Amino acid sequence: MQAQKNKWMLFFMILALLCNKHNATCQELQSNILTYTEYLGIVKKFHPRIKQSNLLITAGEAELLKARGAFDPKIEVDYEKKQFKDSEYYSILNSSFKIPTWYGIEIKAGFDNSEGIYVNPQNGTPNAGLTSLGVTIPIGQGLWIDQRMTDLRKAKLQIQLSKTEQRLVAAEVLYDASVAYFDWLKAYNEIKLYENYLQFAETRYNGVLKLIDLGDKPAIDSVEAGIMIKNRKINLQEAELKLTKAKLELANFLWIENVPVELQETLIPDENLQKNIVNQLPFERIEASGNLSNDHPKIQSLQRKIEILTLDQQLKSNLLLPKIDVGYYYLSEPSYFDNYRWEDYKIGINFTFPIFLRKERGALNLAKLKLQDSKFELDLERLQLENKIKAGVTEIKALQNQMETTGSLIKDYRKMLDSEDRLFTLGESSMFLLNSRENSLITSQLSQINLENRFFNSYAHLFKILGDF
């Protein structure tokens, strides 16, 4: 019990922080209203899936750091010594400092020292050792693009891809959270509706009893009025069950730090959400834009994937070239390194070329197919998103018209019920007709609540499609 109180104290502390930023929020908190804006703010800040999506960017940064590591300078030391029966067979030291550069060129400085009675003559060095400074240049494969350059470029694109995927995940979470909030509001409105009509039924039942005592109504009317009270109680109990389920569903999205919290019984949703949501999610901007923006996270995500696949294709194309590495190293004793001698050097050429290139051509064809497949997916996704946006806008307009019509119907049904109630009081109507009128009004009001819920869901779904929560 104490742990639950602590959770709620922490919950309202967070809301109090929001209150300090927005004066309107203070008034709402005083009336125990959890507004849609406050609710989404809590979800965005604390929900675990939102935090998980932030890890995508962190992972992308780690991949970039890993790719940059391929260009780190390296120090290499290889030392071997053999001593047997008081004879030094050999002592060989090979050390180097390598600097990889962008275009596959590698700069290398080295120091070698070899001595012993069984040292291979080609590995022999002066007594002070032998220094070298040179460069290796690929003039076939790897000059304009190689695996290191490709990995680094892909890692940079992966960070951008992670950011777009984070936006998509956030939009998905906020949409699900919005649906839970709208269902909570719907269940709350239904309970209020049934509470009101239960009170009306009880008041009417008491009135009927008085009319029966006066001899103005038959006794059977009390039975029918009592049946209506029981029906209203059943409806109210069903609505209370829906509200309990809606609160539990909403609680899935309420976290403070790493602690899940539950809704307090006195906390209620924003009953004026229909007026406020239009300001929070500007529908007019969508209508004015007309076309799908290239800033859409799904479009950007596919574009980044296409760029990554394009790099793969370029790398595979480069593998069709022969592998030719040319190296030149200037050699000198440490004490004479400042006196350049053209005749002291070491050069080398490495040439490799598969005759049929079947492996390389197959890999290139696969890369081209993957790239083409992604381009088709981008075109299809762009068309589907545009059609979904148009469908969403059309649905919202249709629901707005339906809500206006239903609102007019509610006014008409209310007039009919008021008229029937006056006739019943004058003895010119029956309990059956009065209940019938009331049921029609309740049905229209429930329809209005359902339409409002559909409107909210459609509104949120449209902004989910836009990835623009």
Least confident of 15-24, 345-354, 359-368: 15-24
| Strand runs labelled E in 201-287 | 255-256, 259-260, 268-269
Q: What is the chain's alpha carbon radius of gyration, rounded to the nearest angstrom?
A: 39
Residue 9: per-residue pLDDT: 43
Q: Is the dihedral of CA 111, 116, 119, 121 positive or negative?
A: positive
In this prediction, residue 83 has a pLDDT band, given cuts at 50, 70 and 90, of confident
Q: Closest Cα partner for 306 from 363, 377, 383?
A: 377
Residue 74: per-residue pLDDT: 94
pLDDT at 215 over 90: no
At 98-142, the pLDDT tens digits run 999 988 899 999 999 998 888 888 778 888 888 999 999 999 888
CATH number for the segment(s) 32-66+150-307+373-466: 1.20.1600.10
Cα–Cα distance measured from residue 30 to residue 102, given in angstroms and rounded to the nearest whole number:
62
Q: Closest Cα partner for 158 from 296, 312, 50?
A: 312
Tell how far CA 324 is from the center of its chain: 46
Tokens of 102: 């962008």
Q: Return residue ranges of the chain for CATH 1.20.1600.10.
A: 32-66+150-307+373-466
Residue 367: per-residue pLDDT: 95
CB-CB contact of 100 with 71 (8 Å): yes
The residues with which 345 forms a beta bridge, in sequence order, are: 330
Residue 405: per-residue pLDDT: 93
Q: In sequence order, which residues have a C-beta less than 8 Å from that of residue 230 and are 6 or more positions away? A: none
In this prediction, residue 20 has a pLDDT band, given cuts at 50, 70 and 90, of very low
CB-CB contact of 446 with 180 (8 Å): no
Q: Is the dihedral of CA 84, 88, 89, 93 positive or negative?
A: positive
pLDDT at 411 over 90: yes
Q: Closest Cα partner for 392 from 246, 280, 271, 287?
A: 287
Residue 128: per-residue pLDDT: 83
Residue 153: per-residue pLDDT: 94
Mean predicted lDDT score pLDDT of the chain: 85
Would you list the DSSP string of 196-215?
HHHHHHHHHHHHHHHHHHTT
Q: How does DSSP classify residue 140?
A: B
Q: Is the dihedral of CA 210, 214, 220, 221 positive or negative?
A: negative
